Structure 1
Amino acid sequence: MMEPLKVMYFSPVAASHGHDEIFAQMALDHKLPDTEVHITSMPETEGRFSHIEFRSYEAMVTRGIIRAARQAAREGFDAFAIGCFYDTALHDAREISGDMVVTAPCVSSCEIAASLANRFGVIVGRRKWVNQMGATVREHGHGHRLSGFYHVELGVTEFQLDHSETERRLVEAGRKAVEEEFAEAIILGCTMEVGFYRDLEKRLGVPVIDPSIAALKRAEHAAILKKQCGWKPSRRWSCEAPPEDEIARIGGFDEGDAFGNRIVVQAADPARSAA
């Protein structure tokens, strides 16, 4: 019997903003029975961020993401998902993560959309995000599949202020993408309330991909492939990790708390499952 998979979903904002409980419910609803998911977040020693919409904020939290990925690898996690659609510090975290697979919402959502449709659109909060997210989609090799970005002019902290208005704007953006620009799937460029994507799918008639679910499921799938097929991350050439003696000499990678909070969504008890 295969050991339970261990996946960590790391939210690069401070735990005090209450996102962890939302992601824990998401994990409970969508993980496989034999997967153990740890929902973690940034310690406030790295900053009291409620979002990282700005590049300067991303630069500030990159250190925390690298520290979290390194600690997760040391704890024996099979896979690690970075919970931001910018895919902040994805390559940096991969470099430091040993045999642990690292993924993030944009690359995961694009891979899933590409398996479901030829063209997809991305609904985003603000026009501010489009330039950077567009570069990320192109970097991941999906630019030719992109019908466009459709912004609703809501920042991360504004999505929860008026749910009916948020829903109206998202539906309007989705209809533009599908009916005017022929998107065959939709990616939500920011996580909404749990399960909202299902309602939007019914209204639009195309697959709608929630990025947090996408990141969790791609991390889980990668963990399965690692255990069953032996497909571990490469650490050669561009993926080469820094030398451990140099890391120790520099300092700052391992000292102090890497996580501000941790919620564990347990794997099913094998004995109970077999009963």
Structure 2
Amino acid sequence: MSENPLKIMYFSPVASDHAHDEIFADMARDNKLPGTEVHVTSLPASEGNFSHIEFRSYEAMVTRGIIRAARQAAREGFDGFVIGCFYDTALHDAREVSGEMIVTAPCQSSCEIASTLANRFGVIVGRRKWVHQMSATVREHGHEHRLSGFYHVELGVTEFQQDHAETERRLIEAGRKAVEEDFAEALILGCTMEVGFNRELGRQLGVPVIDPSIAALKRAEYAAILKRQCGLVPSRKWSCEAPPEHEMASIGGFDQGEAFGSRVVVAASGESTIRNAA
């Protein structure tokens, strides 16, 4: 494999917030392989001051920013690009314009990992509102037959990190229902902001608990290794066909302006620096 470090970008489709960015920089530092460089980035303020994208209308608004970020990451030579939302927002759209760069997202990555650990898994989500859309995403990825159910804890995206003891209590309660009543053999945390709770839940519930932000990062990292070592380059044929560059240039909006609102770089050594902070 090349002596150059693997480069993975973890892109949060919300506006820059340094506390938010540092949560995911810490996640990357704790879980990446030695020799992998991770850039944690966010949506620029020019795309809207989003603190979450729980609503489909919010998702629609940030899709352009995700596409622009994916194009810029590919230009910068990143091996992998992670869309940091469990809705897997704009996953297929970003892949179209990403060239030979790997593009992953949390729901798809988590379900793939869960399917290698167990025959049946449950997903703990923040609010009932999310279930309809997430059910469709799990179905699209081909894992509906493995799903024991969705278990909501009535916490919004921005609330998971406010009171850790209360969040953990609710997650354990939902997890017990999934495992003891619906016989789930593994659990997925259905929001990237549930980062940091998987190990204690796994200890308490006795089943593997998958953190979706870690899952997406590791799937991107693994796919990037396969691309380098085994020549498994993403296809851009048929349904993955990219739009013609001349059409995108004529339409406008794909490349203009800043693609990122902030950037925390976790170097291959594990040290981190802030660049281009908004």
What amino acid sits opposite 1:257 in the alignment? E
Q: Tell me, in whole angstroms, the C-alpha distance in 2 between the residues paired with 1:194 and 1:110.
A: 16
* Residue in 1 that maps onto 2:273: none
1:113-124 correspondence runs (5 A): 113-124=114-125
Matched, 1:136 2:137: yes
Q: Secondary structure at the match of 1:123?
A: strand
Tell which deviates more after alignment, 260-269 or 128-137. 260-269
Q: Tell me, in whole angstroms, the C-alpha distance in 1 between the residues paired with 2:249 and 2:148.
A: 46
Unaligned runs of 5+ in 2: 271-278
Kept after mapping to 2: 8 A contact 1:120/1:186 = yes
Displacement, 1:129? 0.2
1:6-25 correspondence runs (5 A): 6-16=7-17, 18-25=19-26
Kept after mapping to 1: 8 A contact 2:195/2:211 = no
Displacement, 1:168? 1.1
1:53-64 correspondence runs (5 A): 53-64=54-65
What amino acid sits opposite 1:255 in the alignment? Q
Kept after mapping to 2: 8 A contact 1:82/1:90 = yes
What amino acid sits opposite 1:24 in the alignment? A
Deviations 1:149-180 (A, max 9, x none): 00011111122232222111110000000000
Q: Tell me, in whole angstroms, the C-alpha distance in 1 between the residues paired with 2:147 and 2:36.
A: 32
Kept after mapping to 2: 8 A contact 1:17/1:50 = no
Could you tell me the TM-score, scaled by structure 2's length? 0.95
* Residue in 1 that maps onto 2:147: 146
Q: Tell me, in whole angstroms, the C-alpha distance in 1 between the residues paired with 2:67 and 2:196.
A: 30
Kept after mapping to 1: 8 A contact 2:194/2:211 = no
Calculate the aligned-residue CA RMSD, in Å: 1.2
Tell which deviates more after alignment, 221-230 or 151-160. 151-160
Displacement, 1:4? 1.0
Q: Tell me, in whole angstroms, the C-alpha distance in 1 between the residues paired with 2:216 and 2:260.
A: 19
* Residue in 2 that maps onto 1:217: 218
Deviations 1:229-266 (A, max 9, x none): 11011011000000001111111111110000001111
1:1-275 correspondence runs (5 A): 2=2, 3-16=4-17, 18-192=19-193, 194-268=195-269
Displacement, 1:194? 4.7
Deviations 1:179-226 (A, max 9, x none): 000000000001346532100000000000000000000000010000
Could you tell me the TM-score, scaled by structure 1's length? 0.96
Q: Secondary structure at the match of 1:18?
A: helix
What amino acid sits opposite 1:251 in the alignment? G
Kept after mapping to 2: 8 A contact 1:41/1:262 = yes
Kept after mapping to 1: 8 A contact 2:157/2:193 = no
Unaligned runs of 5+ in 1: 270-275
